[in-house]
Structures are given as structure tokens and as C-alpha cells.
């Protein structure tokens, strides 16, 4: 079993839709969770960083963590074609501990 499971997609949505991206993880020691956006042939860009369970909002993006079910989500409101990218979820137990990534979900927002 992979430590971080993520549906690779692709996920296609019309412009303006609310996008829901999800991951599950198996490592109970994970305390910190991240979402990265990766455009084709580019390095990942940190989008959201959260600690433990709860919600965090930043503009059109909301990250949710439910540690009881080991489930993490990223919501994108009013999706734009420029949001088309691969979104990677990740987790770690803190500090300089190894960050474990999911495979990434490819999102396409259609104009």
C-alpha cells in the first residue's frame, strides 16, 4: 500500500466549476499536509500547507484535512483554464522528515 494514494485522473471540468481533489494516506504519524501544483515539465509549486485536522483557505483554494479518516482534500472555486495542471498532495511527520507525495491528479479546466 502506498503511503499517499491519489487518483491520477484526468479530471475535466468546465470553467467556473468547483473542483474537488482528494487523497488518502496511511501513515498515522503524518501531521503536516501540502498541496502542490505542477505544470507540465515544470517543478512543483507549493499551494497550500496545513497542520493537523481542519480547513485552510487561500483565495480560491481551500485545503481540508480529516486525520480521523486520513483524508485530505483541495477545493478550487471558480476554476480557470490556468488551473489546468497536475495537483500533488503530500504529507510528513514534521520538520525535516521525509515528505511523501501522491502520484498527482491531472486537472483540465475547459473554457
Partner 1 sequence: GAVVSQHPSRVICKSGTSVKIECRSLDFQATTMFWYRQFPKQSLMLMATSNEGSKATYEQGVEKDKFLINHASLTLSTLTVTSAHPEDSSFYICSATPPGRRGDEQFFGPGTRLTVL
CA angle 4, 88, 16 (to 5 degrees): 130
Rule CB under 8 A: is residue 23 a binding residue for partner 1?
Answer: no
Is there a cis peptide before residue 10, judged by omega within 30 degrees of 0?
Answer: yes
In the complex, minimum distance from the CB of residue 99 to partner 1, in angstroms, rounded to a whole number? 5
CB-based contact 25:4 (threshold 8 Å): yes
In the complex, minimum distance from the CB of residue 20 to partner 1, in angstroms, rounded to a whole number? 20
C-alpha cell at 65: 484535512
Other beta carbons within 10 angstroms of residue 9's beta carbon come to: 15
DSSP classification of residue 8:
-
Stretch that binds partner 1, among 12-20, 39-47, 55-63, 76-84 (CB under 8 A): 39-47
C-alpha cell at 41: 515539465
Rule CB under 8 A: is residue 14 a binding residue for partner 1?
Answer: no
Stretch that binds partner 1, among 13-21, 58-66, 68-76, 88-96 (CB under 8 A): 88-96
In terms of CB distance, is 17 or 49 closer to partner 1?
49
Contacts with partner 1, residue ranges (CB under 8 A): 2, 4, 6, 8, 32, 34, 36, 41-46, 49, 88, 92, 94-99, 101-104
Amino acid at each position: 500500500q502506498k503511503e499517499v494514494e491519489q487518483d491520477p485522473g484526468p479530471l475535466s471540468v468546465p470553467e467556473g466549476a468547483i473542483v474537488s481533489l482528494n487523497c488518502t494516506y496511511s501513515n498515522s504519524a503524518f501531521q503536516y499536509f501540502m498541496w502542490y501544483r505542477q505544470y507540465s515539465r515544470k517543478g512543483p509549486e507549493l499551494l497550500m500547507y496545513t497542520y493537523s485536522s481542519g480547513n485552510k483557505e487561500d483565495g480560491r483554494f481551500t485545503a481540508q484535512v480529516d486525520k480521523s479518516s486520513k483524508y485530505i482534500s483541495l477545493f478550487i472555486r471558480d476554476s480557470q483554464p490556468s488551473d489546468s495542471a497536475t495537483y500533488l498532495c503530500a504529507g510528513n511527520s514534521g520538520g525535516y522528515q521525509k515528505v511523501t507525495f501522491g502520484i498527482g491528479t491531472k486537472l483540465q479546466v475547459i473554457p
